[in-house]
Amino acid sequence: MINTNPNHKHTYDEHGNMTCCSLEEKIYAVTEGQDLSNQTHQHAGKATAGIDLRPYLPASISFVLLLAGIVADNFIRITFFQGYVRLIWFAISYLPVGWPVMKDAIKAFKKSEVFTEFFLMSIATLGAFYIGQYPEGVAVMLFYAVGELFQSAAVNRAKRNIKALLDIRPDIAIVKRNNQFISVKPETVSIGEVILVKAGEKVPLDGKMLSEKSSFNTAALTGESKPKIIEVGEDVLAGMLNLDKVVEIKVAKKFTDSSIARILELVQNATSRKAKTELFIRKFAKIYTPIVSGLAVALTFVPFIFVQEYIFNEWLYRALIFLVISCPCALVVSIPLGYFGGIGAASRNGILFKGSNYLELMTKVNTVVMDKTGTLTKGVFKVQKVETPLDKDEFIQLVAALEKNSTHPIAKAIADYAETSSLQAANVEEIPGHGLRGEVKGKQVLAGNTRLLLRFGIAYDKSIDAITDTVVVTAIDGNYSGYITIADEIKEDAELAVKSMHENGVGQIVMLSGDKTSIVQQIAAFLGIDSAFGDLLPEQKVQKVEEIKKDQLKVVAFVGDGINDAPVLALSDVGIAMGGLGSDAAIETADVVIQTDQPSKIATAIKIGKATNKVVWQNIAFAFGVKIIVLALGAGGLATMWEAVFADVGVALLAIFNAVRIQRMRF
């Protein structure tokens, strides 16, 4: 039975393997987000020294002795191989695999944990020895030990996926100090210092590009194999691989606050939020194991009342078979491993789930509500036209001085268009859903949408309402002073994203935007979006999602940038942040983070969720189906220990192999 004690301490041998704990505790350590970074760095490179065969030695000894005993029993028929000699031989073959399990049973018993798998296996195999079924007693424990080895291998595979992520963090940073570059630990580098990254090396810390440009492999972070060109002034993130030439980067974040550090923490802690299926199985196992133990006792003694020719050893044998079959490890091991595999598969595809509960919930999403800017469009705005009765250069300088105080992509486009501006704005106020107000050169300047001017009672040219592009209207000292048109670009995979979501069970796709309704409707029609609403304030977006959620049959996912849309992300059943790799707010507020700017990854997340859910339910159905059949046969005296071994260890192994399959799937 799985150990759910979060205070249980795990120890490790010199090879980095967990000791003194059950397989389920090993899975608990991995899937509960235990920090494995120390082991990773401590044991890095030891894998090349060869495979450690010591864990396989006890099972190998037991197998050889058991095989020799069976041959002596059934084929050679050695005369002295009987009585105490036979008992001692099989006892010796039992000890290498049986004693460790019995020790674990005793330790668990001292902690008042009686009904564990160790207890079940110990009682069943010792009982087999009691009734003279020595080979079967050894075989059950041997196959159980072999099963644990295979299961441990599956857990280690999952653990290696985390180690592979941890290994993308360089141990060394080359930092510029006293006009020379020296090698130091990344943890010691401060914000604002300059680091050097050579071609073929990984970036150790987040920062801004100081060199002209270089090509970077971002696959470790985003799952994308296509290299990315990063130019001067752009963000460079820890974990990226420099492909081109030596570059200098100005550090923007501490080592512990880097994007990759947060991503690693997210992946390691992902399964702390359990799926409903997983939580049910855990609760079920706690009730199920004591019940089947009681039934086994009843199966031994109750027939004495009803059966005329009651033979104790015969009914004890049936009860022992019942105990072996009843062990729930196939469920409590394979199901969390299945969800962990799904989370690992998602992270390799540039998708971070904050818990297996969201992985499960993604399969039920039938309504997707999407923001426009930065989600379906690139959010990279460029000024197309400047229309003003004033001096154009002076007009742009005044507006840019105000817009420099906002992080909105439209504001950035205007600031970039003005190039350099020595003007500074004072008393700047950002009015959500409207725009900005402030003082520049002693003048009151307003810049935003038409709602901003209407709010302050300023008349403007109504022909602006017919412009389909994004428009920033302005007023200076209470008078309308012109407008700036700005164009955004639809992402390359936006149309594919909408089509793929429809194909994967999303019945309704809704687009919400603060942009002009005419622009929103135009983009929605082009992409095939079911319904779209523009000119929305942040609180109006919340109202729209609340209206959609009134339909109890709808499971709603909201997709936004994770910064401006935090209230809607929190309100939705599943909050998905787009392009959240470098965004603190995205990682904090969203349930699922798409590390790239590709909306098509939403459909990929749904596919991974469905594949994981399918494998989990396959394991549940298979484990229960086989166990119920063999339990019935065992109680009726029609099944032997060999069938019991298959029903327990065999089913567990098949379920594990099925769960591991998710990690190899391509989406």
Whole-number Cα distances in Å, 25 to 15, 32, 84, 109, 487? 18, 10, 38, 16, 55
Whether the CB-CB separation of 534 and 520 falls below 8 Å is answered with yes
With beta carbons less than 8 A apart as the criterion, state whether 101 and 141 touch: yes
One-letter amino acid for residue 197 of the chain: V
Instruction: For residue 612, give the nearest of 336, 371, 423 by alpha carbon.
Output: 336
* List of residues 6+ apart from 132 with CB closer than 8 A: none
Reply yes or no on whether 371 is catalytic.
yes
Two tokens at 69?
Answer: 């005993």
Q: Phi and psi at residue 295, in whole multiples of 5°?
A: -65, -35
Q: Which amino acid is at 304?
A: F
Question: Across-strand partners of 209?
Answer: 249
Residue of 334, 417, 374, 322 whose CA lies nearest to 651: 334
Amino acid letter, residue 157: R
- The tokens for 315 are 């009914």
- Is the separation of the CB atoms in 478 and 458 below 8 Å? yes
The two tokens of residue 114 are 């009686």
Strand, coil or helix: 209:
strand
Which of the residues 206, 371, 573, 597 is marked catalytic? 371
Rounded-to-integer distance, Cα 212 and Cα 198, Å: 14
Cα–Cα distance measured from residue 194 to residue 176, given in angstroms and rounded to the nearest whole number: 6
The residue among 137, 252, 150, 141 whose CA lies nearest residue 203 is 252
- Residue 484 CA to chain centroid, in angstroms? 43
d(CA 339, CA 662): 9
C-alpha distances (whole Å) from 659 to each of 341, 450, 654, 663 are: 7, 55, 9, 8
On whether the CB atoms of residues 368 and 506 are closer than 8 A, the answer is yes
- Nearest of 289, 539, 579, 309 to residue 431 by alpha carbon: 539
Nearest one of 288, 471, 462 to 387, comparing CA atoms: 471
Amino acid at residue number 112: S
The residues that are catalytic are 371
